[in-house]
């Protein structure tokens, strides 16, 4: 650990390893990512996993240096590694680990999307959309535009359960209102 000549942990190898794993190597990775125009998915995955590995090494070194800082006579390293300021030192590894996980998950999502597309191309029957039709409770299904074959395959759901416009399925139109016929509901009169 500390020799008799080292009165502070700033002269130890672990401190300089922490600086290189926290600042130098991640900066080199990000510089490479921003300077080059194109990367393979494998390179992005390797860089992402390297960032996660460096973040874990940073955490181990920070824990070791914070315990070693208490054993030194110097107050400067106590202020950095054994005080509330040490919480700020954990931000860099957390950020780099998060970015590395995002890079790796981006590559994995791209890979899974390609696998899905291959499956859908090989099995076209499995890729058919499900037809959803809205029905009113206690009445017959609304919407006579569907063919008899499509009606038999349609999944019936209640009007409250109908999908939103994002799915591309719109609820059936309401029946036409009778002109001039109203009923009392609360303080206002509503049309049926």
pLDDT above 80: residue 128? no
Chain position carrying tokens 């919480």: 87
pLDDT tens per residue across span 61-74: 888 888 888 778 77
Question: In sequence order, what E strands does the chain have?
Answer: 132-135, 155-158, 182-185, 188-191
Domain presence at residue 2: no
Find out whether 169 and 132 touch, Cβ atoms under 8 Å: yes
Q: Do 20 and 92 have their domain in common?
A: yes
**Domain of residue 38, residue span:** 9-124
Q: What are 189's strand-pairing partners? A: 184
**Minimum mean pLDDT range among 11-15, 50-54, 85-89, 124-128:** 124-128
Mean pLDDT of 28-54: 92
Q: Do 28 and 72 have their domain in common?
A: yes
With pLDDT > 70 as the criterion, what percentage of the chain qualifies?
62
Q: Do 138 and 120 have their domain in common?
A: no
Q: Do 91 and 141 have their domain in common?
A: no
Last residue of a domain, one of 124, 152, 173: 124
Mean pLDDT of 115-133: 77
Mean pLDDT of 36-53: 92
Find out whether 150 and 133 touch, Cβ atoms under 8 Å: no
Residue 85 Cα distances to 17, 97, 112, 127, 181, angstroms:
19, 20, 42, 55, 73
**Confidence at residue 2, expressed as pLDDT on a 0 to 100 scale:** 47
Domain presence at residue 172: no
Q: Do 67 and 110 have their domain in common?
A: yes
Query: What's the mean per-residue pLDDT of the chain?
Result: 75
Q: How many domains does one find in the chain?
A: 2
Domain presence at residue 44: yes
Query: What is the DSSP code (8-state) at residue 128?
Result: P
Rounded CA-CA distance 108/112 in Å is: 6
Domain presence at residue 174: no
pLDDT tens per residue across span 171-180: 556 655 555 5
Residue 119, classified by CB atoms within 10 Å of its CB into exposed (0-12), middle (13-18) or buried (19+), is exposed
């Amino acid at each position: 650990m500390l020799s008799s000549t080292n009165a502070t942990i700033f002269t130890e190898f672990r401190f300089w390893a922490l600086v290189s794993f926290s600042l130098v190597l991640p900066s080199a990775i990000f510089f490479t990512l921003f300077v080059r125009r194109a990367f393979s998915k494998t390179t992005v995955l390797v860089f992402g996993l390297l960032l996660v590995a460096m973040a874990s090494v940073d955490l181990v070194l920070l824990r070791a240096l914070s315990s070693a800082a208490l054993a030194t006579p110097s107050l400067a390293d106590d202020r950095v590694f054994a005080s509330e300021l040490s919480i700020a030192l954990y931000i860099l590894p957390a950020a780099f680990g998060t970015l590395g996980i995002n890079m790796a998950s981006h590559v994995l999502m791209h890979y899974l999307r390609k696998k899905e597309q291959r499956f859908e191309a090989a099995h076209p029957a499995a890729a058919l959309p499900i037809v959803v039709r809205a029905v009113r409770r206690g009445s017959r299904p609304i919407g006579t535009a569907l063919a008899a074959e499509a009606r038999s395959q349609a999944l019936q759901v209640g009007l409250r359960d109908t999908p939103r416009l994002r799915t591309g399925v719109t609820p059936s139109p309401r029946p036409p209102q009778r002109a001039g016929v109203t009923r009392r509901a609360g303080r206002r009169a509503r049309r049926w």
